[in-house]
Amino acid sequence: MGGRLDGKVAVVTGGASGIGRATAELFVAEGAKVVAGDISDDLGAELADRCGEALTYQHADVTVEADIEALVTTAVERYGRLDVMFNNAGAGGDPAGIQEITQEGADRTLRLLATSVILGHRYAARQFVRQGTGGSIISTSSVAGLQGGQSTLGYTAAKHAVVGIVREATAQLAPLGIRSNAVAPGITMTGIMGPAFGVPRERDEEFKAFLATELADKQPIGRVGQPEDIAKAVLFLASDDAEWITGVVLPVDGGQTAISMGGWLAAAGQAGADFVAR
């Protein structure tokens, strides 16, 4: 029985860890060839070893335009084509509030989380047009791209921008057979969580397990998300099962945005402080 991505080639940014890694591994399991880009070269090399010839790892900093273009070029040179672009790379960005944030901090955050998504669309769409085959672009937004009060100012602004990019991309690219959608993860246990609360990297796994327990009852569905939960939604949007779906921002959040969840961020902050103080 074939996989849902048999014969397809994908680029995944931020592919060495978290949501990107889970997605890259799932894509390979479903029959795709994958080029994974990241700045964490040790983790990327380990991922490539695990996946074998079906996955190529390449160092890529998505704040550098040439690195994004190079990922698409590598996909075509190594595997012959491109069918899926997953604009996923990111981090928490500048944590400053609206009265403290600087132009440099705001620019850096938007470049990482929003401008990179524009450029991912640019180079993927150009390749799709050259092939004449259409294609699927998926980008990672966040529940912070749907509501205020879910994260910091810079992250919230950037993730809202991703929603706008997807909608405008749909207007421009749908007539060319190119789909653009986004996932909006809720509380998901990735490597972004520890740094957001000042937890040392060596305690990251311990912190994620602690936070998952502390925040479970803050989620309507009774647990926090895992990278694999998001990867399954991305797989659907990448597959031909979603061939008539474009311009959608899909919350993958255990029901978080369906109800008022204004208290979760305060609860997370208190949990982080409690953990560090232990």
Rounded to whole angstroms, how far apart are CA atoms 174 and 160? 21
Closest residue by Cα to residue 27 from 17, 42, 15, 37: 15
Number of domains in the chain: 1
Rounded to whole angstroms, how far apart are CA atoms 53 and 242? 27
Q: What is the bridge-based pairing of β-strands 84-87 and 9-13?
A: parallel
Residue 272 half-sphere exposure toward CB, CA atoms < 13 A = 16
Rounded to whole angstroms, how far apart are CA atoms 223 and 201? 23
Q: Are 32 and 56 in contact (CB under 8 A)?
A: no
The catalytically annotated residue of 57, 79, 123, 155 is 155
pLDDT in tens, the chain (278 residues): 569 999 999 999 999 999 999 999 999 999 999 999 999 999 999 999 999 999 999 999 999 999 999 999 999 999 999 999 999 999 889 889 999 999 999 999 999 999 999 999 999 999 999 999 999 999 999 999 998 888 889 999 999 999 999 999 999 999 999 999 999 998 887 776 666 667 777 777 777 788 778 778 778 888 888 999 999 999 999 999 999 999 999 999 999 888 865 555 666 667 777 777 77
Return left, alpha or beta for 91; rule: phi > 0 is left, psi -120 to 50 is alpha, else beta.
beta
Residue 37 half-sphere exposure toward CB, CA atoms < 13 A = 28
Assess if residue 196 is contained within a domain.
Answer: no
Tell me what pLDDT residue 192 has. 66
Closest residue by Cα to residue 178 from 231, 247, 75: 247
Tell me what pLDDT residue 172 has. 98
Assess if residue 163 is contained within a domain.
Answer: yes
**Which CATH number is 105's domain given?**
3.40.50.720
- Rounded to a whole number of angstroms, the CA Rg of the chain reads 18
Q: Are 44 and 17 in contact (CB under 8 A)?
A: no
Rounded to whole angstroms, how far apart are CA atoms 162 and 137? 12
- For 220, other C-beta atoms within 10 Å of its C-beta total 14
Assess if residue 205 is contained within a domain.
Answer: no
Assess if residue 173 is contained within a domain.
Answer: yes
Angstrom CA distances, 228 to 18, 21, 250, 263, 271, stand at 9, 9, 15, 25, 23
Residue 155 designated active-site = yes
Assess if residue 218 is contained within a domain.
Answer: no
**Position 144: which residue type?**
A
Tell me what pLDDT residue 266 has. 64
Assess if residue 119 is contained within a domain.
Answer: yes
In which domain, by residue range, is 172 found?
9-190+224-258
Tell me what pLDDT residue 41 has. 97
Rounded to whole angstroms, how far apart are CA atoms 163 and 186? 15
Assess if residue 199 is contained within a domain.
Answer: no
Q: What is the DSSP string of 175-190?
A: GGTEEEEEEEE-SB-S
Assess if residue 277 is contained within a domain.
Answer: no
Which residues, 6+ apart, have CB-to-CB distance to 13 below 8 Å?
Answer: 20, 37, 38, 60, 62, 68, 71, 86, 87, 88, 89, 116, 120
